[in-house]
Amino acid sequence: MASRYNLPHIDISVFSEAKDYAGDPANMKKAARDRAEHGRKLQAELLAAWASSDQARPDDDRLPATAGTRIEVELRRGTDPEVLNLKKQGIRAGASKYNATNGNRTIVLYVPDEARPVLDAILDDYLHGPLPKSGNPPKSGKVEAIEEIRQFRLAAAWTDAEDALPSEPQDVIWWGLWCYRDMVADVEAACESLDVQVAAADRRLLFPEIVVVPVYTTRAAIELMLYATGGIAELRRASDNPAFFEEEVAGDQHEWLEDLAERVVWPGANVPSVCVLDTGVNRGNALIEPVLAADDLHALRDEWGADDHHRFGHGTGMAGLALHGDLTAALADTEQRTLRHRLESVKILPPDGFDPSDPKSYGVLTQAAVAMPELQAPDRARVFCMAVSNRDVTGATASTWSAAIDQAAVGRMIGDGDDADVKEADRRKRLFVLSAGNTPPEQDYAVLQSQDDFPIEDPAQSWNALTVGGCTDLVDIHDDGFEDWTALASVGTLSPHSRTSGAWRQGVAPIKPELVMEAGNRAVNPGQTECLSMGSLSLLTSGSDVGTAPLVSFDGTSAAAAQAARMAAQIQAQYPEYWPETIRAMMVHSAQWTPAMLAELNSTQSKRARYAMVRRFGYGVPSLERALASANNHVALFAQAKIQPFKREERKFNKCHYYSLPLPPDMLETLNNEQVEMKVTLSYFIDPNPGLSANVDPQRYQSYGLRFDYQRRRETATRFKQRVNAAERAKGPRPKFESADPNWMLGDDSISAGSLHCDVWTGPAIDLLDRDTLCVKPVNGWWRLRSSLDVCNREARYALIVTLRVINPTIDIYTPIRTSIGLPLPVEIDIET
């Protein structure tokens, strides 16, 4: 390989033999010698840079087989920094730094391994190519622009303050990766391969040629990433935060607001909406008014008015997040933002001066609120979002309020029609997104309690609703006067604001929250005596005081629920044919545990211990991108199906649905011991029956239940069907079947209550060989026990999602089985238990 870079013999006579030169021949010979010397110098420097890079390249299996090299190129004064950009060959100029002493500029040049000969050829052509009449050697415009070529150093790609660059390999910060716009997917793949935590998409800054992707990782991981991908142009701190808009440019908020409002592509009237059930909304805010019609502002009582009466503008803040998400990045970039959903508002809380609502009436009032926008716009698809709770009332068991929400979700509230008019499976279903509730905002650090001491509040225990808790990635404090304070929670952990269901009885109460989203953090002073919430540890949203503060910070599980409702509406806009049950399944299925959460889950093999953890942070943090599309290393199967759980005759179980998963044996054998993840999510809505024994027996509360089951190792399809369905077995004692599969993260015992079930199987691909059958089967519910045969014979529906993912993102499993992808149809088989 070294011979490729041997320095050539330079014949300087070629520079003196050209015709029509102007000037002294002696000067021309000197110029020729100088050029030859400069070319040889650059060749030697390039050779040294290649060799140094090859020697420094880490031996890491996670790096792609073919990668690239970064070199530093010092350009002479006045040179265009893009002079060496050769995009067709993958050679790109990145970070650029100006030297005030000599006027030169140093750029970082990324060169794919396969493109190294391109630079070699440029220098060789400069030294050996035929001399044109102009007297300038070939490629002189590029070569003579270069002063020096050096080995790459990480500091060369760092364009932020020099003292902010982490010095130690394991130093961790939020980095801002300034990525070429057409290579963001390549950077994302490198992040996944190297286990680098990437911030939510809403935190990205979008510019015409650059996308800034915040990642939380070590300096060592960043150095690996620079070998793994050429998509990173430069590095900075990820420093954008709400405090900038609330403090540094507080007087100019309207200008920032109007700039964003002009960049938004606003939707028409025939799109889904998020209906916010809260304190009302001030539609005068420029980021809300275009999508919140006056006719879509409602209040339970006319005398309350529909505007936001809350002193902190809670309803307006919710509306802004439900529409735009966190505004911090959107305000700071220049990108056009396209909206595909609208807003509706129902004021359900009375303003000051009016009697508070009776808690016993919360359920009735919520259903009345649901009916108001449906009467106004009956054909509009919508997601209901509510961050109002029964303060300090635990949701350990069903209440009249949570049951009313379950009833509304399944299409059984007053006004939804009787059984003679509407079939059960065809009833109007509704998706509710509820907040888990906030912990008390204690300021005395000494009295802070475990978040498990604060159970999720009523009505967030609703089985059919999607309950959202809070996590946080916000740890950098920028508020004036608080620079020496530190964040209370670390990156990727539970937000200090979020409640949990750890105190609820496993087996009786559903797993709540199902999801967590950014809810902000809190800060602790150096003496650990005081704890405060602050702007830089919050999200940014629309304010109700349009005149003086149209932008405000916002936090808590209210913020998390609003963002989740936004995601639901975005999915609904993309897939209008999908049921509310399916949208809920897609969101939960898209969720991933953060590295901190996953480390906690993997710290124990005890399923019971994992249940307690999942009752803190649910199934993880959802992603719109993962929900809407699957990458080449994911295989997604969706099913929306109707099922009749019970029979009229003797009130027995009716049907069991079997699915054959497209898992080609040759593919599994080729993958062999490659680690794969198979994730299964099942979502359906139950008809609630609260009270009496329903508080201790989930099967008395649910109208029916569904479970999924999957073939176990060394279990034939026939044995599998016999295990899950008594109708497939011969009469007599129940035979002994294969033991439970330990590779599931949570296992069978985690599924006992609730109407959404999710689990992840992880193991070698070869362990899935000859295991391609999955079933959905009914379990008991009060429909089966009712004397009315019409009730027993009701039909229900469900959404099922199964994905297979190879842990190694470089392996493509989509191509081998793409012909098998589609909407799988269940095979119905009679069932007994």
Write the pLDDT tens digit of every residue in 716-753: 988 898 888 877 777 777 778 888 899 999 988 788 78
Q: Is 397 helix (H, G, I), strand (E, B) or coil?
A: coil
Q: Looking at residue 821, what is its pLDDT?
A: 54
Question: Is residue 363 predicted with pLDDT exceeding 60?
Answer: yes
Q: Record the tokens describing residue 624, joined without a space.
A: 């719109």
Q: Which residue has the higher pLDDT, 653 or 460?
A: 460
Residue 16 has pLDDT above 50, yes or no: no
At 759, list the tokens.
């689990």
Distance CA 829, CA 500 (A): 39
Q: How confident is the model at residue 631 (pLDDT cuts 50, 70, 90)?
A: very low
Rounded Cα distance between 98 and 109, Å, is: 15
pLDDT value, residue 281:
96
CB 645 within 8 A of CB 783: yes
Residues of 321-355 as b/e, b for ≥16 C-beta within 10 angstroms? bbbbbbbbbbbbbeeeeebebbbbbbbbbbbeeee
Please state, in angstroms and rounded to a whole number, the distance separating the CA atoms of residues 23 and 60.
57
Average pLDDT in the 583-609 region?
A: 93
Percentage above 90 pLDDT, the chain = 64
pLDDT at 651 over 80: no
The pLDDT value given to residue 393 = 86
pLDDT for 669 beyond 70: yes
Q: Over the stretch 605-629, which tens digit does the pLDDT of each residue have?
A: 898 899 999 999 999 999 999 998 7
Q: Which helix (H) or strand (E) holds 126?
A: helix 116-128
Structure confidence at residue 775 as a pLDDT band (50, 70, 90): very high
Please report which confidence band the pLDDT of residue 786 belongs to, taking 50, 70 and 90 as the band edges.
confident
If pLDDT is split at 50, 70 and 90, which confidence band does 827 have?
low
Q: Which of 167-176, 597-606, 725-734 has the lowest mean pLDDT?
A: 725-734
Torsion, CA 784, CA 787, CA 793, CA 797, rounded to 10: -50
Q: Which class for 468: exposed (0-12), middle (13-18), buried (19 or more C-beta within 10 A)? A: buried
| pLDDT digits 0-9 by tens, 309-331 | 888 899 999 999 999 999 999 99
Question: For the whole model, what pTM was predicted?
Answer: 0.90
Residue 267 confidence (pLDDT): 97
Closest residue by Cα to residue 242 from 520, 582, 646, 562: 520
Average pLDDT in the chain: 88
Please report which residue ranges of 672-781 form alpha helices under DSSP H.
698-701, 717-724
Is there a cis peptide before residue 459, judged by omega within 30 degrees of 0? yes
Q: How far apart are CA 125 and CA 118, in angstroms?
A: 10
AA identity, residue 760: V
Our measurement of the distance from residue 461's CA atom to the centroid of its chain's CA atoms, rounded to an integer in Å, reads 24
Residue 484's contacts (CB-CB under 8 Å, 6 or more residues apart) are 525, 526
- Tell me the angle at which helices 595-602 and 607-617 cross, rounded to the nearest 10 degrees: 160
**Are 471 and 620 within 8 A, CB to CB?**
no
Q: What is the pLDDT of residues 176-208, one digit of tens each?
A: 999 999 999 999 989 988 889 999 988 999 999
pLDDT beyond 50 at 15: no
CA 12/CA 431 separation, integer angstroms: 79
Residue 256 pLDDT: 92
Q: Which residues of 389-410 are buried (b: 16+ CB within 10 A; e: fewer)?
A: bbeeebbbbbbbbbbbbbbbbb
Token pair belonging to 249? 């440019």
Q: Does pLDDT of 11 surpass 60?
A: no
- 238-252, 358-372, 493-507: lowest mean pLDDT where? 238-252
- C-alpha distances in angstroms, 748 versus 423, 642, 815? 32, 23, 32
